[in-house]
Amino acid sequence: MKSKKRVVVGLSGGVDSSVAAHLLLEQGYEVIGMFMKNWHDESVTISNECPWMEDSTDAMLVAEKLGIPFQAIDLSEEYKDRIVDYMFAEYKAGRTPNPDILCNREIKFDIFLKAAEKLKADFVATGHYCQKGEIEVKGQPVYQLLAGADPNKDQSYFLCQLNQSQLSKALFPIGHLQKPEVREIAKKLDLITAEKKDSQGLCFIGKVRLPEFLQQQLKPKKGKIIVIPEDLPIYQQTQIPARIEPEEYDDYLLDALAFPIHYTAEQGKVLGEHNGAHYFTVGQRKGLQVGGTGKPLFVIATDTQTNVIYTGLGEDHPGLLRHALFVKNEDVHWIREDLKLTPGESKEYEARIRYRQPLSGATLIQKENGLYVFFEKAQKGIASGQFVAWYQGEECIGSGTIF
């Protein structure tokens, strides 16, 4: 008799992973539940908002109810090395990290996957709202990362850095369901997590107060808030020329459109003070605490070297909108390696620069120095360090870290 395939499910203590474990049992897999304790620091967690102890207990109770073996694994050291230190370094450099994307690439589908393989697992499964496809290219299996069926919950963006090897071992049992259906299944099974609120925090570490979290390492430092006028001459160079296709732009124009603008204090006037440029990100509106400006004030750039925040008035300020971005070669990642562009090639896809953002038409142009992504519609708040992900229909094809 053929032995059952073994799957280790990352039980987070939430409803999604609980139902994922149940569905795998129904499909005839041998299922093991594993709770990951990632980095946790009481001093910056909003008390009793999803502390890991409670999550771990809920995960254990779910495993008991489903009749599957359960174990907890402490990954706090690796999490601190790979995620927390990365966040501090990125904010310090004035960039905007995405810890959730990195957590999936570095923790759940790397360290956790290796722990599962030690238990002789064939697959790891998570409660992500995304789906996996498999096609054949030149006689070889190629795995596809597909959007979740629930448009309000599609989490494919968070998995945009996975590679073929990681996808080959991944299962997403709830990806074909709508969130209300998942809750319904959990209620029928009388699982303790059925009514539990979705966690909003960093990947598995609960709700974190970001300013306090950052202040542990990045000390407050007073600096100027400068407002930049919208008729700054440099904005003339960042206009899209009419009647030429992005592929026909010369290198100078490509760079002018895709690289962030470097501002200087002389270009604007001082509006107020802040406590540290590294606490702010491009596109941010809250937390500036400057009143009486009429229109809302947005961060259009931060300079952590000089500790200055540059702002613009109104959401249509030209400093807040950009038509293009650049990804350095070493930061370009193709999930579908068979579709990788070579220098001189271009292709039309749809892309997004943040979770839940609607996809927008984009032309990808691969040059010797890296990948240029041109959006049909100007994007608001493109920030260095964020991830851009590109799609063909439902399928996420690749991603990259914005320069």
Query: What would the pLDDT profile of 142-158 be if each residue is shown by its tens digit?
Result: 999 999 999 999 999 99
Mean pLDDT of 38-43: 67
Mean pLDDT of 46-61: 77
pLDDT at residue number 41: 65
Rounded to the nearest integer, the mean pLDDT of the chain is: 92
pLDDT at residue number 205: 47
Model confidence at 22: pLDDT above 70:
yes
Q: Would you call 279 helix, strand, or coil by DSSP?
A: helix
Show which residues are catalytic: 103, 203
CA angle 248, 249, 255 (to 5 degrees): 150
Residue pair 399/389 in contact (Cβ under 8 Å)? The answer is yes
For residue 212 the two structure tokens come to 């306090």
pLDDT at residue number 118: 97
Mean pLDDT of 46-72: 85
Structure confidence at residue 52 as a pLDDT band (50, 70, 90): confident
pLDDT tens digits, residue range 181-225? Answer: 999 999 999 999 999 988 765 554 445 666 677 777 788 999 999
Give the whole-angstrom CA distance, residue 54 versus residue 172.
24
Length of the chain: 403
- Whose structure tokens read 């139902």? 19
Structure confidence at residue 1 as a pLDDT band (50, 70, 90): low
Mean pLDDT of 257-273: 96
pLDDT at residue number 204: 42
Structure confidence at residue 40 as a pLDDT band (50, 70, 90): low
Model confidence at 9: pLDDT above 50:
yes
